[in-house]
Amino acid sequence: MHGRRLSTLEEVIVLAAPDSDSMVDRVTSWTNTHDISVTTLDVGTSVTDEHVDRTKTTMGVTVGGDGTFLEGARAFAPHQIPLLGINSGTLAFLARVNQTDVEDALSEVFRGRASVNARQQYEVVSDDINTTGINEVFLRKHPPEERYGTKVGSLHVFVDDEYVGQYFGSGLIISTPTGSTGRAYSNHGPVHYPQDNRTLQIVPHETISAAVDPIVVSCDSDIRVVLDDDFDIDIDGGRQFQRLEAGTVVKVTGADQPAQAVRTSYDDPFITALVDKLDWGLRTVDEDGPRSSLTDIGADKPTDFRVRAAQVAKEAAESAGEPLRELHGQVENIEYKTDKSDIVTEADYQANDIIRTAINSEFPNHMVQSEENDDVKPADGYVWLIDPLDGTGNFAHGNPNYSVSIALLEDGVPIVGVVYAPETDEMFHAVAGGGAYLNGNQIETTTRDRLDESMLLSGYDPDGGFLQAFYQETQGVRRLGSAALHLAYVAAGSADAVWEYDTLPWDVAAGLCLLREVGGRATDQHGTEYELLLEADGTTRTPLLASNGLLHDQLIEELETADI
């Protein structure tokens, strides 16, 4: 569940705070447009099985502030329904979709590009209390009946039957990582990054002892608090509040069922929320705005725009990969060629539509060109060049060596490249000036400079000339059947060079971006630098020789000798 993608959406249940009718109307209008059923409930209403259609993929939506989100977490978690929070208030760390981005965020969920992240909950039991929460349990000394009575109380804390000690002060806070930014932070507790964090923390509130520090424990720990005085218990900021008498034992541990938070690219990031709302001084601001990503710190790094474009391309490739994997499994079980052809065609168009929709949504002013639409042509400015299914022959035969290729060109030059292999979940990406990566780890070419130590890849080799020329001279020649994967593997050091007898721009644009970022070399068979021919009509022969650079001259020499 943790970090999975929310791939479909068929039903929405809205929990709405008072005075949020206009925002609820916008959500309802969006669901009607997308033929999604919607149920609207007032915040505080219990979500029951009558509200949930188990045959549909359901998402909860809260409209309000963090208080409404907390109530939504309590209501939806027992049903394992993921929750998206729309912030109609001011300070919010949980409901992080702004009002201006509501329709865009919902559309991102609908396209299968949102993710679901687990948030640790707690379970609290005491007297007649038996409930769960997502933020904190706050035990505060009950106010004295007389004006001059003591406001300080005493309580004892045990963790897994080990005695921690006696706390003197106004109270005690037991919080989840999500609750670490509220009362716990105000009482000098640490801020925890909440995503997939399985801890609880014990923070003294207005303690009279300077030697008492917060404690972080496992969510599986059994925390018991024994009260020496009367205390008030406040669960998740007033969701439940009552007085507990001296001698009461309060038991707190991690809940078995986490809350599931839906996250989109329109959410304010957690650290950004801290910086903006708590005025942290950790980030510098210059004339170009705040520096907020790893890739734009330092000189000669790519701009935020390119980084954002790469992220969109990766998400689009992953989303397209889901139906490709599903249909690939069907191809493997079909005997008749005509049926296989229908499925391959469906796979092509499904993946193409997903990628186009994602890019058009994020960059409506960019041109999107695709093999499937046969509209590849030269254009100035920003142009996306996509091949939704590179390796169609492999796909049709149930072979796993196929890929999704997405490139962003600026005035004809690739500046972002993404190659995704759905069956192996290998995500290659590169940003001009920012390096190339495989599943987040930086890649580089091999350093081999001898043909007899190298392994080569070959694309279409009509007369077998390349195989004959190099098979005995090297450690072998392999053919995977996907030009995009060939270039990605050379860039990542899984092969030393690749020869493609003929290429088309959508085959190689993303791979060229990868190769150039790792210092590889790409030419034709004579050593002339390779250029994308965007006027290619599917019949123009454009040879490509790509390598780690060190072997390149030797390869050209052998090609000329073999008259290839």
Q: Do 315 and 376 fall into the same domain?
A: yes
Q: Do 244 and 158 fall into the same domain?
A: yes
What's the pLDDT score for residue 350? 84
CATH number of the domain at 369, please.
3.30.540.10
Q: Do 144 and 181 fall into the same domain?
A: yes
Whether residue 444 is contained in a domain is answered as no
What's the pLDDT score for residue 122? 95
Spatial distance between the Cα atoms of 390 and 378, rounded to a whole number of angstroms: 21
**pLDDT by residue (tens digit) across 90-129?**
556 678 788 888 999 998 888 777 888 888 999 999 989 9
- The mean pLDDT of 130-153, rounded to a whole number, is 87
Q: Which residues contact 11 (CB under 8 A, 6 or more apart)?
A: 36, 37, 38, 39, 52, 53, 56, 57, 58, 59
Q: Do 210 and 128 fall into the same domain?
A: yes
| Greatest mean pLDDT range, 112-121, 295-304, 404-413 | 404-413
Whether residue 245 is contained in a domain is answered as yes
CATH number of the domain at 111, please.
3.40.50.10330
Q: Do 336 and 397 fall into the same domain?
A: yes
Q: Do 144 and 244 fall into the same domain?
A: yes
User: Which has more pLDDT, 270 or 397?
Assistant: 397
Q: Do 548 and 518 fall into the same domain?
A: yes
**pLDDT by residue (tens digit) across 432-481?**
989 999 999 999 999 999 999 999 999 888 888 888 888 888 888 989 99
Q: Do 242 and 273 fall into the same domain?
A: no
CB-facing half-sphere around the CA of 252: CA atoms within 13 A: 31
Spatial distance between the Cα atoms of 306 and 187, rounded to a whole number of angstroms: 41
Whether residue 498 is contained in a domain is answered as yes
Contact assessment for residue 24 and residue 72, using Cβ atoms and an 8 Å cutoff: no
Q: What is the mean pLDDT of the chain?
A: 85
Contact assessment for residue 172 and residue 155, using Cβ atoms and an 8 Å cutoff: yes
Q: Which residues are annotated as a binding site for Mg(2+)?
A: 371, 387, 389-390, 507
**pLDDT by residue (tens digit) across 27-50?**
999 999 999 999 999 998 989 988
Whether residue 46 is contained in a domain is answered as yes
Spatial distance between the Cα atoms of 477 and 460, rounded to a whole number of angstroms: 12
- The mean pLDDT of 413-429, rounded to a whole number, is 95
Q: pLDDT-based confidence at 155, cuts 50/70/90?
A: very high
Burial level of 539, CB count in 10 A (0-12/13-18/19+)? exposed
Whether residue 442 is contained in a domain is answered as no
- The mean pLDDT of 359-385, rounded to a whole number, is 80
What's the pLDDT score for residue 464? 82
Spatial distance between the Cα atoms of 267 and 294, rounded to a whole number of angstroms: 19
Helix H or strand E encompassing 94: none
Contact assessment for residue 207 and residue 188, using Cβ atoms and an 8 Å cutoff: no
Whether residue 108 is contained in a domain is answered as yes
The Cα angle at residue 402 between residues 399 and 407, in degrees rounded to 5 = 180
Contact assessment for residue 114 and residue 263, using Cβ atoms and an 8 Å cutoff: yes
CATH number of the domain at 208, please.
2.60.200.30
- The mean pLDDT of 200-229, rounded to a whole number, is 91
What's the pLDDT score for residue 336? 47
For residue 431, is pLDDT > 60? yes
- The mean pLDDT of 215-221, rounded to a whole number, is 95
For residue 334, is pLDDT > 80? no
Whole domain around residue 349: which residue ranges?
Answer: 304-426
**pLDDT by residue (tens digit) across 517-553?**
999 999 998 899 998 877 655 556 689 999 999 999 9
Q: Do 97 and 139 fall into the same domain?
A: no
Spatial distance between the Cα atoms of 329 and 345, rounded to a whole number of angstroms: 15
Whether residue 321 is contained in a domain is answered as yes
Q: Which residues are annotated as a binding site for NAD(+)?
A: 66-67, 135-136, 151
Q: Helix (H) and strand (E) counts for the chain?
A: 12, 33
Please report where in the chains the tokens 């359901």 appear, as a residue. Answer: 58
The residues carrying an active-site annotation are 66
Spatial distance between the Cα atoms of 91 and 353, rounded to a whole number of angstroms: 38
Domain count, the chain: 4
3-state secondary structure of 101: helix
Spatial distance between the Cα atoms of 266 and 479, rounded to a whole number of angstroms: 42
Spatial distance between the Cα atoms of 167 and 526, rounded to a whole number of angstroms: 80
Q: Do 166 and 262 fall into the same domain?
A: no
For residue 169, is pLDDT > 70? yes
What's the pLDDT score for residue 537? 56
What's the pLDDT score for residue 286? 43
Q: Do 268 and 332 fall into the same domain?
A: no
For residue 291, is pLDDT > 50? no
**pLDDT by residue (tens digit) across 53-96?**
888 889 999 999 888 888 898 889 888 899 999 988 655 667 87
Helix H or strand E encompassing 338: helix 337-362
Whether residue 220 is contained in a domain is answered as yes
Q: Which residues are annotated as a binding site?
A: 66-67, 135-136, 151, 371, 387, 389-390, 507
Q: How far apart are the first and last CA of the chain?
A: 52
What's the pLDDT score for residue 287? 40
Length of the chain as a residue count: 564
Spatial distance between the Cα atoms of 404 and 321, rounded to a whole number of angstroms: 7
Task: Provide Rg for the chain, Cα atoms.
Answer: 29
Q: Do 226 and 190 fall into the same domain?
A: yes
Contact assessment for residue 217 and residue 199, using Cβ atoms and an 8 Å cutoff: yes
